[in-house]
Each structure stands twice: as structure tokens, then as C-alpha cells.
A and B are shown apart, each in its own frame.
Chain A
Amino acid sequence: AQSVTQLDSQVPVFEEAPVELRCNYSSSVSVYLFWYVQYPNQGLQLLLKYLSGSTLVKGINGFEAEFNKSQTSFHLRKPSVHISDTAEYFCAVTPDTGRRALTFGSGTRLQVQP
């Protein structure tokens, strides 16, 4: 079984400041890792994913994440946030074989202030 821990439930940040949203996971098998974003009253949209290869992955809207296998982490970063980045962000994992259902963290609400 897998589990995902998002260490911060809320992250307030000023516009144009950098931000890091933290994600740690636990799994007895190899996994794929994902970050999804949810804007108010909407479904989830994929930001980026790590399957294999380079541990630094770039996604949409200027976000990037780094996979660290030894620390079982997959932190999300953006060097300069905008008001429009205000949303809920979910880290998720799925085994790289077999059942592909995602296991989600509890989410981090990013609040960008002017």
C-alpha cells in the first residue's frame, strides 16, 4: 500500500515570491508521482508527473518538482507565484505496475496575496 503526506495544509505567500509545497510518500513498490491542481469548484488538473529518468520535472504554469528517492520526497516549486496560482494542490502516487488508482495526500491550499 502507498501513503502520501503533505506537510503543510495552507501556505500563504506574497505575489512574485518563490514557493515550495512539500510532499513525502511511502511505498513498498516503485511508484509514479504526480502533482494535481484544483481551482475552486473545479475538477483536478495535472500539473506534472514523474515516471522515470531525470529527477527534475517541469510542468505547466512554471511549476517544477524534484523527485528524491532516498528521502521519498517530491516537492513542488515555483520561483515566482501569481495571484492566479491560488488553488489547492494535491500530491499523488500510483504503483508503476498493476492497479493504477492514485493515492492522494490531504492537499495544500496555496494562498497568494498581493
Chain B
Amino acid sequence: NAGVTQTPKFRILKIGQSMTLQCAQDMNHNYMYWYRQDPGMGLKLIYYSVGAGITDKGEVPNGYNVSRSTTEDFPLRLELAAPSQTSVYFCASSSPQNTEAFFGQGTRLTVV
């Protein structure tokens, strides 16, 4: 069972570059989320989606964009990367019936 798959696992970006973090789930979950994890700060919600075509901002959305064209995929776009976006990014999914969120393995991003 694949669960939640994130690509890439690691990436180094230069300041001002852009990139897309990919996230796919095969559990037919309606809800999907993007979090960032900074040392000693726990996980902060960036964006979330309750279904295809529906997205909304979380706590820390500035500098990011998302789209949800299918149930399976929820890519996170970074425009004009900044050092403050150096972090580990986690994608997660859940269903309305099952309260448990399933997490991907994370993407470690460094902006230099």
C-alpha cells in the first residue's frame, strides 16, 4: 500500500527560484493537507483541501500556492523561494469518516 507519496525527498533551491512539491494519495481521501515542520516548532498548516477544486489557507500560507484538480493529487507550489522557506514539508490526507491523518515521508527543502 503506497498511502501518501511525496516527491522529491530532498531539494536545494536558490533564492528566487520556484518549484512544486508533489503529493499523491491512493486512499480516496477527500481531505488533504500541507504542513511545514521547523525545529522546535511542531507542524504548521500551510494549506488544506476538502475535495477536488476546493482549497483554503492554513496558518502560514504566504509564499505558497496549491491546487487540487483531482482527489489523488495536491501539489504545493513555491514561488520566489526565500531562506525562510527552508523546512521539512509534509503532506497528509484523511477522510471525513476516519479521523486519522496519514502522512507522507516528507520533503526536506533548503533555500540558499
Contact = CB atoms under 8 A, between A and B. Distances in A.
Interface of A: 4, 6, 9, 32, 34, 36, 41-46, 49, 51, 90, 94, 99-107
A103 B41 CA distance: 12
Interface of B: 4, 31, 33, 35, 40-45, 48, 50, 56, 58, 90, 92, 94, 96, 99-101, 103-106
A49 B100 contact: yes
Given A90-B43, A99-B48, A49 B90 contact: no
Q: Which 7 A-B pairs have the closest CB atoms?
A: A43-B103, A104-B42, A106-B42, A44-B103, A104-B43, A43-B105, A101-B48
A56 B58 CA distance: 31
A101 B42 contact: no
Main SS at interface, chain B = strand
B71 to A, nearest CB: 16
